[in-house]
């Protein structure tokens, strides 16, 4: 916890010490999260066996209305969090703006400067939740700007807990979920209507930690590009992340088809313009042979007609090469999770509803 002044001290309520075995759900969010947060809290069961702490970046206005708004929609009681609160199962604690929070024997709220430009800082809370609750900690990352929460999700995973991330395609602001995904710290990437059932199912397993494994299996990747320097750059990028294994490289479309059949990678990163057989034709052949194949297309172009053609061929994602190094890891993890990934700059080139049939497609 950063140095600062505790928020109004008072006598501890006589409700016993914190029980780490009960579990804790920490919802982290920022812009665009009110509706998904309300939808999740409205569908948690009345006998929910864990406390829920909401850490949301928002303005420090007064009066603070978020608890009242959530209470009108949630199935569980919602209250302002106070310094010294013991966490009661089945209760939602909303962290007020303008303070940081951690959990020790109880919640600790302090007035302190912003950390990483935000207050409350989600990374701070998630790290403390990992220390105290270990495998019974669940992090939920919803719509928001910036990357706060991603490193805290890593701490949750390392402690054996579980990280559930809102599908970035459904977010008004996808940066926070995408940051957690790109670090490889998401156990599940889900649409909002599946998050509450997933949490409830996890917490119904009191005899063991929630996380199915401390680390997900490595994602096996085939790189297909006729420029060796591009392949080397993509390989170097992916090899900095322990979640990826580049198993083969192809320098043309025909080789990509053959190597995909031989190695059955989890994802093929496919250049669109290649000799012998272009990326569109290669994608069509690979998907025709194996409908489960995931292809992330790469191109120097962002022509809408070209994008439509390779999506029609069966690709699950599309990136422009000028953004590939920043987005590739997130794109791969998104398509492996069974969804379609399109760069934000690409989605902005289409009319509303024009891509709906692709984004709604079950890529799994």
List residues with catalytic annotation.
Answer: 30, 57, 148
* DSSP annotation of 173: S
Tokens of 67: 């608890």
Contact call for residues 68 and 92 (beta carbons, < 8 A): no
Three-state secondary-structure class, residue 146: coil
* DSSP annotation of 315: -
The three-point CA angle 70-114-95 to 5° equals 20
Q: What are phi and psi of 51, to 5 degrees?
A: -80, 155
Secondary structure (H, E, C), 67-105: HHHHHCCCCCCEEECCCCCCCCCCCEEECCCCCEEEECC
Enumerate the β-bridge partners of residue 249.
223
Q: Is 357 exposed, middle or buried (0-12, 13-18, 19+ CB in 10 A)?
A: exposed
Block residue for tokens 């010294």: 84
Q: How far apart are CA 362 and CA 358, in angstroms?
A: 9
Q: How far apart are CA 139 and CA 152, in angstroms?
A: 9
Q: Is 9 exposed, middle or buried (0-12, 13-18, 19+ CB in 10 A)?
A: exposed
Neighbours of 325 (CB within 10 A): 13
Contact call for residues 10 and 39 (beta carbons, < 8 A): no
Q: How far apart are CA 118 and CA 153, in angstroms?
A: 17
Enumerate the β-bridge partners of residue 10.
none
Q: How far apart are CA 67 and CA 128, in angstroms?
A: 23
Block residue for tokens 């409830």: 200
């Amino acid at each position: 916890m950063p140095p600062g002044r505790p928020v109004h001290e008072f006598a501890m309520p006589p409700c016993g010490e914190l029980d780490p075995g009960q579990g804790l759900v920490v919802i982290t969010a920022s812009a665009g999260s009110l509706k998904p947060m309300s939808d999740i809290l409205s569908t948690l069961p009345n006998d929910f066996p864990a406390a829920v702490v909401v850490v949301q970046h928002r303005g420090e206005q007064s009066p603070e209305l978020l608890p009242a708004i959530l209470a009108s929609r949630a199935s569980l009681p919602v209250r302002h969090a106070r310094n010294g609160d013991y966490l009661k199962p089945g209760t939602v604690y909303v962290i007020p703006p303008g303070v940081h929070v951690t959990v020790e024997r109880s919640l600790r709220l302090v007035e302190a400067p912003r950390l990483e430009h935000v207050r409350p800082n989600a990374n701070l809370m998630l790290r403390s939740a990992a220390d105290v609750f270990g495998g019974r900690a669940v992090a939920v990352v919803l719509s928001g700007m910036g990357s706060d929460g991603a490193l805290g999700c890593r701490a949750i995973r390392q402690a054996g807990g579980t990280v559930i991330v809102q599908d970035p395609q459904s977010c008004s602001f996808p940066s926070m979920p995408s940051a957690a995904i790109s670090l490889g710290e998401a156990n599940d990437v889900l649409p909002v209507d599946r998050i509450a059932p997933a949490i409830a199912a996890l917490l119904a397993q009191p005899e063991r930690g929630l996380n199915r494994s401390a680390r997900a299996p490595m994602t096996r990747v085939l790189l297909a590009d006729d420029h060796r320097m591009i392949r080397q750059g993509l390989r170097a990028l992916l090899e900095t992340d322990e979640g990826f294994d580049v198993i083969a490289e192809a320098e043309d479309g025909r080789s990509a088809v053959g190597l995909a059949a031989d190695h059955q990678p989890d994802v093929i990163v496919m250049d669109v313009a290649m000799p012998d057989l272009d990326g569109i034709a290669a994608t069509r052949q690979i998907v025709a042979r194996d409908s489960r194949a995931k292809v992330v297309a790469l191109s120097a172009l962002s022509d809408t007609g070209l994008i439509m053609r390779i999506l029609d061929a069966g690709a699950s994602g599309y990136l422009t090469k000028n953004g590939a190094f920043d987005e590739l890891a997130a794109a791969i993890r998104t398509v492996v999770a069974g969804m379609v990934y399109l760069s934000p700059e690409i989605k902005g080139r289409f009319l509303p509803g024009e891509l709906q049939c692709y984004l709604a497609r079950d890529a799994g």
